[in-house]
Amino acid sequence: MIPSQNCQHKGSILVIHDEPASLKLLFTILTEDGYAVHERQLDLESHLRFVKDTLPDLVLVDVRKPSIDGYRVCASLKNDPTTRAIPVIFISSIDRSINQAKALLSGAVDYVTDPFDAEEVLWRIETHISLRRLRENLTSSACNRGAQPVPPNEHLERAFQEIRVLTQVTGRKHAEEKARQAARELERREAKIRRLVEANVVGIVMWTVEGAIIGANEAFLGMVQYSREDLASGRVRWKDLTPAEWRDRDALAIADLKATGIFQPFEKEYFRKDGSRVPVLLGGALFEGNEGVAFVLDLSEQKRAEEALRAAMSERTRLSAVRAEVATALASKDDLRGILNKCADAVVRHLDAAFARIWTLKHGGGELELQASSGIYTRLNGRYSRIPIGQMKIGLIAKERQAHLTNDVQNDASISDHAWAKTENIRSFAGYPLVLEDRVVGVIGIFSRHALTENTIEILAFIADGIAQGIERKRAEDALRFSEQNLRLTLDTIDGLVTTVSPSGELEFANRRFLEYTGNTIEELKTNLGILHVDDRERVMGLWTHALRTGEALYSEARIRRHDGVFRWFVMTARPLNDQDNHILRWYNLITDIHDR
Shared domain check, 515 and 385 = no
Shared domain check, 356 and 293 = no
Q: Is residue 477 a part of any domain in this protein?
A: no
**Domain holding 431: CATH number?**
3.30.450.40
Phi, psi angle pair for 242, to nearest 5°: -90, 125
Is 452 in contact with 407 (CB distance < 8 Å)? yes
Shared domain check, 34 and 155 = yes
pLDDT for the residue numbered 147: 47
Shared domain check, 29 and 140 = yes
Q: Structural domain tally of the chain? A: 4
DSSP string, 384-422: TSEEETTSHHHHHHHHHT--EEES-GGG-TT-S-HHHHH
Question: What are the tens digits of pLDDT across the range 419-461?
Answer: 888 888 999 999 999 998 888 999 999 999 989 888 888 888 8
Q: Is residue 5 a part of any domain in this protein?
A: no
Contacts of 361 (CB under 8 A, 6+ apart): 367, 368, 369, 389, 398, 440, 441, 442
CA dist 492 and 464 (Å) reads 42
Contacts 24+ apart (CB under 8 A), 345-350: 345/374, 346/321, 346/322, 347/322, 347/374, 347/444, 347/446, 347/460, 347/463, 348/374, 348/375, 348/446, 349/322, 350/318, 350/319, 350/321, 350/322, 350/325
Q: Is residue 482 a part of any domain in this protein?
A: no
Shared domain check, 113 and 71 = yes
CA dist 31 and 28 (Å) reads 5
What is the bridge-based pairing of β-strands 58-62 and 11-16? parallel
Shared domain check, 523 and 412 = no
Shared domain check, 332 and 215 = no
**Domain holding 72: CATH number?**
3.40.50.2300
Shared domain check, 214 and 161 = no
| 529 CB burial (10 A radius; 0-12, 13-18, 19+) | exposed
Q: For residue 500, is it left (φ>0), alpha (ψ between -120 and 50) or beta? A: beta
Asked if omega into 115 is within 30° of 0 (cis), the reply is yes
Would you write out the chain's pLDDT as a tens digit for each of its 597 residues? 444 444 567 889 998 876 777 788 888 999 999 999 987 666 778 878 888 888 999 999 888 766 667 788 888 888 888 998 899 998 887 656 666 667 767 888 888 888 788 888 898 888 888 888 887 877 676 666 554 554 555 555 555 565 555 556 555 655 566 666 666 766 666 555 555 555 556 888 888 888 888 888 888 899 999 998 988 888 888 889 999 999 899 889 888 888 888 888 899 999 999 999 999 999 888 886 788 888 898 888 888 877 776 666 666 777 788 888 888 888 888 888 899 999 999 999 888 889 999 999 987 778 999 999 999 988 888 888 999 999 888 999 999 999 999 999 888 887 878 888 888 899 999 999 999 888 899 999 999 998 988 888 888 888 898 898 888 888 878 777 777 777 777 777 777 899 999 999 999 889 989 999 999 998 988 888 789 999 999 999 999 999 999 999 999 999 999 999 999 999 999 999 888 888 998 899 999 999 887
Judged by DSSP in three states, 215 sits in strand
Shared domain check, 414 and 279 = no
Is 112 in contact with 123 (CB distance < 8 Å)? no
Domain that holds residue 237: 200-298
Domain boundary among 298, 320, 343: 298
Q: Is residue 303 a part of any domain in this protein?
A: no
Judged by DSSP in three states, 142 sits in helix
Is 334 in contact with 243 (CB distance < 8 Å)? no
Q: Record the pTM.
A: 0.43
Shared domain check, 442 and 325 = yes
**Domain holding 582: CATH number?**
3.30.450.20
CA dist 328 and 400 (Å) reads 30
Judged by DSSP in three states, 576 sits in strand
| 196 CB burial (10 A radius; 0-12, 13-18, 19+) | middle
CA dist 38 and 54 (Å) reads 10
Domain boundary among 447, 464, 481: 464
Q: Is residue 484 a part of any domain in this protein?
A: no
Shared domain check, 318 and 289 = no
Shared domain check, 326 and 282 = no
Q: Is residue 331 a part of any domain in this protein?
A: yes
Q: For residue 156, is it left (φ>0), alpha (ψ between -120 and 50) or beta? A: alpha
Residues in a beta bridge with 208: 291
CA dist 454 and 410 (Å) reads 20
Nearest to 488 by CA among 19, 480, 84, 222: 480
Domain boundary among 121, 151, 180: 180
Q: Is residue 60 a part of any domain in this protein?
A: yes
Q: Is residue 475 a part of any domain in this protein?
A: no
Nearest to 336 by CA among 366, 376, 363: 363
